[in-house]
Amino acid sequence: MSVQATPTDQTPRTAPMVRRGNTISIGRILVDALKYTVLLVLSFSFVVPLIWMFVSSIKTDSQVYTIPPVWLPNPALWENFWNAWTTYDFNLFAFNTLFRLAIPTTIGVTISSAIVAYGFSRIRWKGRDTIFFVCLATMMVPYAVTMVPLFIIFKELGWINTFLPLVVPAFFGSPYFIFMLRQFFMTIPVDLSEAARIDGANEFQIMWKIILPLTKSALTVVALFQFMNAWNDYLGPLIYLRRVDQYVLALGLADLRNTIAGTGAAPLAYPYLMAVSTIVTAPILIAFFLAQRTFIEGISLTGLKG
């Protein structure tokens, strides 16, 4: 004979479960709140220098050093951007940076790294793993170690005071990008390449028509990283470029800062420097936000979707 449980008998059993569920929900809310609070604080700490740079660019020189800081300058000197940009020939510096350095090196690194990475990941040949290990080992050598030997080589070639030492090496690949693209290529099924070979495609056709279209996000990451490196490069142009008409933006900014420091407290010195820095930083921020989705995909996803 079965005995049915009364509502009084069920109450002690269900109440702890409800309390446990409430406890878990409250704990999860607290954890999420703490997590997002930390993220907001870190994000704010990264954004504050950019905000300060922009705000300082529309101040007077005396307002920059005012304590407590002036976050909303009145009046806002928007003409600082034009005046600072025309203080030096920054139009020429921007042209040199974009068309003589950033774009050529971005194209060279992206194409050459993709070709080398394809050879390391999709083609079997004797000594492949050994050469790949040597390629990775070059990443462990600091630039300060190779700087002097490279300078001597380029000097013997007669490339000093030209953009050749900065552009030509980009067409021989970058070890870091080769490694990244190789790992990306290896996630693509080999069956796709085998099917193309059966149809009569050669290795170049397989790479160009099958592999590279599947890795657009990874190639975008490589191009964006290299463009940022070239846009912000200071040490390379400082070593190999000596004429003012060859200066890039980084050298122009340094020259503007040195000129201001050498002339003492020049009027609007610091705001001018911040104004040019804001203009130079803007293209990088715009490029990142425009390619943000593809950039994140290239970092986190594999080469084959679906």
Tokens at residue 226, please?
A: 């290299």
Give the containing element (helix H, strand E) for 228. Answer: helix 216-232
Nearest CA to 303 out of 213, 225, 221 is that of 213
Per-residue pLDDT of 109-162, as tens digits, reads 999 999 999 999 888 888 888 999 999 999 888 888 999 999 999 999 999 999
Decide which of 24 and 222 is more confident. 222
Predicted pLDDT of residue 221: 87
Per-residue pLDDT of 188-198, as tens digits, reads 888 888 888 88
Predicted pLDDT of residue 122: 86
Q: Residue 239: pLDDT band by 50, 70, 90 thresholds? A: very high
Amino acid identity for residue 67 in this structure: I
Backbone dihedral angles phi then psi of residue 126, each to the nearest 5 degrees: -65, 130
Q: Which residue ranges make up each domain of the chain?
A: 7-57, 79-300
Separation CA 296–CA 166 (nearest Å)? 28
Predicted pLDDT of residue 16: 53
Cα dihedral sign, 12-13-18-23: positive
Per-residue pLDDT of 11-44, as tens digits, reads 455 555 545 556 668 878 888 888 889 989 888 8
Tokens at residue 286, please?
A: 């715009």
Top-tier CATH class for 79-300: mainly alpha
Predicted pLDDT of residue 23: 63
Q: How many CA atoms lie within 13 A of 57 on its CB side?
A: 23
Backbone dihedral angles phi then psi of residue 78, each to the nearest 5 degrees: -65, -20
pTM for this structure? 0.79
Share of the chain above pLDDT 90, in %: 32
Nearest CA to 281 out of 42, 51, 43 is that of 51
Decide which of 69 and 164 is more confident. 164
